Amino acid sequence: MSRLHTHKHGKSHSTRPINIRMHPWILQKPDEIIELIKKYRNDNMSSSKIGIKLRDQHAIPLTKPLIKKSITKVLVDNKLNSAIPEDLENIVKKAIGLQKHLKNNKSDKRNIRSLELVEAKIHRLSEYYKKNKKLEKNWKYKSIVAQLG
C-alpha cells in the first residue's frame, strides 16, 4: 500500500510468521495469555505494544491462532479498550508534537504543510470510524483541545 501524501510506496514493515499453527515452544495456555493481555493493558499499554511485549518477552509470535481472538478483540470483550482507536490516537499525538514545534518555530513552512496533511488524515480517519461506529458521532478533533489533553 502506498503512502497517502507522498510518492513513496511505504513497504517498510515487519513480516508475519509463516506458520499460523501453535508452536511447541509456547508454554502458556490461552487463559494465561488473556491474563497477560489484561495485565499489560492495565499498565496503560496499547494493543500494538502488548503484541510486541508478548513477542519479545514471552515468545508468542501471534495470539490469534492460540486464543482464537486478536488482542484488540480481547480488550473489547473485557471492556479495556480506549475511547478512540489506537491509530487515530497516534496521529493526534503526532499533530500535537507538530503544533508544539510550530509554537517555537513559526516560519517552518515544511512542518506547517506537514501539520495540514496530518490534520486532514485525522479528519478522514475520524469520519471512517464514526461511520463504522467505533467513534462517537459527536467526536471532533480540535487542535487547541488536543494540546490540552
Residues 6+ apart with CB under 8 A from 139: 84, 126, 130
> Residue 61 to residues 52, 102, 119: CA-CA distances in angstroms?
9, 40, 34
Residue-level pLDDT at 96: 93
C-alpha to C-alpha distance for 38 and 36, rounded to whole angstroms: 5
Residues 146 and 57: their CA atoms lie apart, in Å, by 34
DSSP code string of the chain: ---SSSS------PPPPS--SPPTT----HHHHHHHHHHHHHTT--HHHHHHHHHHHH--S-SHHHHSS-HHHHHHHTT---SS-HHHHHHHHHHHHHHHHHHH-TT-HHHHHHHHHHHHHHHHHHHHHHHTTSS-TT----HHHHHH-
- Mean pLDDT per 10-residue section of the chain, whose length is 149 residues: 66 70 81 94 93 92 89 94 90 93 92 93 94 92 65
Given this model, what pLDDT does residue 1 score?
40
Q: Give the pLDDT confidence score for residue 144 in this predicted structure.
A: 63
Chain centroid offset of residue 147 CA: 19
Query: If you search the block for the grid coordinates 490461552, which residue do you land on?
Result: 30
- Which pTM does this prediction carry? 0.78
